[in-house]
Chain A
Amino acid sequence: MIERIKTFVVRHGALLLTLVIFLSVYFVGGRLYPAMQKPQVFFNLFINDSSLLLVSIGMTMVILSGGGGIDLSVGGVIALVSTASAALLRGGASPFIVLPLMIVLGVALGGLMGWMIQSLKVQPFIATLMGLFFTRGMAYIISLTSVTITNDVYRTFALTPIHIPFISRAYIYPTTLVGPIMLIVAIYLSFFTRFGRTIYAMGNNEQSALLMGLPVARTKILVYAFSGLCSALAGIVFSMSLLAGYGQFATGMELDAIASVVIGGTSLSGGVGNVIGTLFGVLIHGTIVSILQFNGTLSSWWTRIGVGVLTLIAIGIQSIFSLKTKRS
């Protein structure tokens, strides 16, 4: 019995640790600010960080696939999607055309970057950097200032609260659901499809995966397309939540995403980690922000320090864990 618990802890150590960190931080927050103990605060984490969750999910898959995989374009895609949607809607386009169009846009951009990385052998850093410049650049071209969205469909999605059963005065919005849904999709992909298992295999040893006959090339392109999909969805959620399109949305979100992914236990070298850890990474990020908001006096820059410190701690623990497992 003890043996089984021990193996479980070692196997899922990183994930458990992230969970523990999240609970600890949340607990500390609740102690410092009793107002934080309200259930709605928990749901607010999902409401406020739904875009971050989405891009972090995409980022997780990209990083898992190894080979220095990273996607710096996520913030840019959000900006582009928001401004493009706002412009189109203002021009009278129907949301039922705009929404699928944005998704296609995200997937196409991601696929293009994936192709550059796979076939042209461009470093992921450089290729997605170009993606960032391009998408945010296009967003600026579409509109330098914020464009309000007044479309009814959008407004409904943005403003209709969904009450949580059994918990009084707790609600979320329809857009909040997109993140958790994509999380489930990502979990399914990661653990129940050849696509996901190939990602893990590639991340561990691309050469071996090739020799095992796995579709490495195709998977590499698809994983970036998937990240593009997540970014597009994040952009849609973002523009719905704020009912606006703005070129300066989500600046620096790629960093928060990377930090969330790393804190969640995924290794930058690939093959280790999963999206569930990323969820907690994002929740930790949100909790820190909440604590700061409740404090009111400390500015947002403490979040930056907090996230930086946590990333450091997470990596430190990751390396201790990998050393321990190597020895055993």
Chain B
Amino acid sequence: MKDPNDVVEMLEITKSFPGVIALEDVDFVLRKGEIHALVGENGAGKSTLIKILTGVEQPDKGTIELDGKLVHVRSPQHSQELGISTVYQEVNLCTNISVAENIMLGREPRRFGSIHWQKMNEMAQHAIDRLNIDVDVTKPLGDYSIAIQQMVAITRALEVLSAKVLILDEPTSSLDIQETNLLFDVMRKLKNEGIGIIFITHFLDQVYQIADRITVLRNGKLVGTYEASTLPRFELVAKMLGRSLIELDAMVKEKSQEEEARDKQLLVEAKELGLTGTLEPVDLQLNANEVLGIAGLLGSGRTEMASLIFGVAAPDNGSLIVDGEKVSKFSPLESLKRGVALCPEDRKAEGVVGNLTIRENIILALQARYGWFKFIPPQRQNEIANKYIELLGIVTPSPEQLVKNLSGGNQQKVILARWLATNPKVLILDEPTRGIDVGAKTEIQKLVMQLAEEGKSCVFISSELEEVIRVSDRVAVLRDRSKVAEYAGDVDEKILIQAMAGEV
């Protein structure tokens, strides 16, 4: 059933890695001259699908057809030769050489064996003018914004590689509105020339602005492919988040009357807290004995807000008051001393110290608070480590295992243990259950609620609405880097989705 309008047809793509099924029987079709959005939350399988299409990974099962012909994409180099080009969020060009070189290098025109600069500049200028953007190709790439750099990357893909298929992976994450519109103009122009564009993004507004069709993935499976014009936004979000296929113990949140009536002690207050370009000014209250859930899609500003409260970044607007004191110095150590802890989202870059043992990773923050000279005695270290290994169910033969050898889920638990060990008053958890098995997810949720019961204030950031609602006493919704709503913990999922989709 070959449709001549299809440029790429991927059928029954299946791929698994040790311990996780990344993709299961996924079909994906890209037509010529269309902009096709690929959406899904973390772990949905988007990046794996693209990696297979671009030859970075090989599928366990399934076929790929390009222009009706069966192909086997061996490598990224090969995929480029086939006419499939990818432009990533981190622009894979070199900022110290000129725009023209970034476009032409590799196919640069020569004269008597040396680079013919004049011709190269002309060709590059011509190519970039094709996209209707105003760029001086003789200037270094680094002189231009990320937006323009992406255009240059696109130009290279088209010029040097005669791409038929252009994959744009989260291209607008670093762009402002004007730059995004510029990108979209270019995309529309290319679409009209018959190039098929795969647009991966988590900004739903933009999906509706530019895409013709939308493919939704969830948990490695294809949810469906839809015409953008006929799929309401609310339904899209619902499909992305979906009904969790995982069965959890039925946990009914019991809110006693007394609890509701009790005056919650305010531990942290953010007043108009914001950072230009990262987070719009936000008001937030964190109370003891309470779990505040933060709902919002990826990119809505959740992590950024957590970073500001924890002090990794300093705000340039508003103030933060912890335990009645206004925070003047923003640093993780300061927060730690005040009893505020953050279990970060990117555990690999910001959490795990891979070559240290589990024990060392767990006691690290606690030790940081004690300082250089009050060394936690080895016996006590072992006690603490073992306590949390048991509590969180960390799978390991001993506390002396190197953390880098653990599975992702276990690593996450170690980082969580690190912060629990500091006995914080306020514990911010950014996607704590991501990549963790079913049983552990439940345990962590129970733990969070228990901690709140014991008097702590917990902030629970997650993409899984079910668990957010289950665990939280209150839920705040973030969208497009600002806080748009706040609800009581028994809010209906539908309302949350609406708020996230912007339909409230």
A binding-site residues for B, Cβ under 8 Å: 11, 188, 191-194, 197-198, 200-201, 203-205, 207-209, 211-214, 271-272, 325
B76 at the interface (CB under 8 A from A): yes
Is the beta-carbon distance between A213 and B77 smaller than 8 angstroms? yes
- Give me the interface of B with A, judged by CB distance under 8 Å: 76-77, 80, 91-97, 101-102, 105-106, 108, 113-115, 117, 140, 142, 156
B92 x A208 contact (CB < 8 A):
yes
Contact status of A200 and B96, CB under 8 A, knowing A211-B76, A213-B77: yes
Contact of B92 among A188, A197, A212 (CB under 8 A): A212
Across-interface contacts of B95 in A (CB, < 8 A): 204-205
* A contact residues around B102 at 8 Å (CB): 212
| Contacting pair A197 B115 (CB below 8 A) | yes
Residues of chain B lying within 8 A (CB to CB) of residue A200:
94, 96-97
Contact between A204 and B114, CB atoms less than 8 A apart: no
Report the bound CA distance from A101 to B44 in whole Å.
Answer: 62
CB-CB under 8 A for A204 and B97, given A192-B114, A211-B76: yes
> Please, which residue of chain B has its CB at the minimum distance from the CB of A272?
B96
Q: Of B106, B114, B117, which is within 8 A of A188 by CB?
A: B114
Chain B residues with Cβ below 8 Å from A207 are 92
Q: Are the C-beta atoms of B93 and A212 separated by less than 8 Å?
A: yes
26 A-B residue pairings within 8 Å (CB atoms): A11-B140, A192-B117, A193-B115, A194-B105, A197-B101, A197-B108, A197-B115, A198-B105, A200-B96, A201-B94, A201-B96, A201-B105, A204-B96, A204-B97, A205-B92, A205-B93, A205-B94, A208-B91, A208-B93, A208-B94, A211-B76, A212-B93, A212-B106, A214-B106, A272-B96, A325-B142
Which residue of chain A has the shortest Cβ distance to B102 in the bound complex?
A212
Contact yes or no, A197 B96, CB < 8 A? no
Assess the B115–A271 pair: CB atoms within 8 A: no
- Which residue of the partner chain A has the closest CB to B113? A193
For B115, the chain A residues whose CB sits under 8 A away are 191-194, 197
- A residues near B93, Cβ cutoff 8 Å: 205, 208, 212
Q: Are A204 and B77 in contact (CB under 8 A)?
A: no
A193, B114: Cβ atoms under 8 Å? yes
Chain A residues whose C-beta falls within 8 Å of the C-beta of B80 in the assembled complex: 213
Given A192-B115, A193-B114, A197-B101, answer yes or no on A203-B108 (Cβ-Cβ < 8 Å): no
Most buried by B among A11, A198, A208, A325: A208
Interface centre among B97, B142, B156 (most CB of A within 10 A): B97
Task: Give the docked Cα–Cα distance between A203 and B96 (Å).
Answer: 9
Q: Give chain A residues whose Cβ lies under 8 Å from the Cβ of B105.
A: 194, 197-198, 201, 212, 214
Q: How far is the CB of A207 from chain B (nearest CB, A)?
A: 7
Cα(A193)–Cα(B77), bound, Å: 23
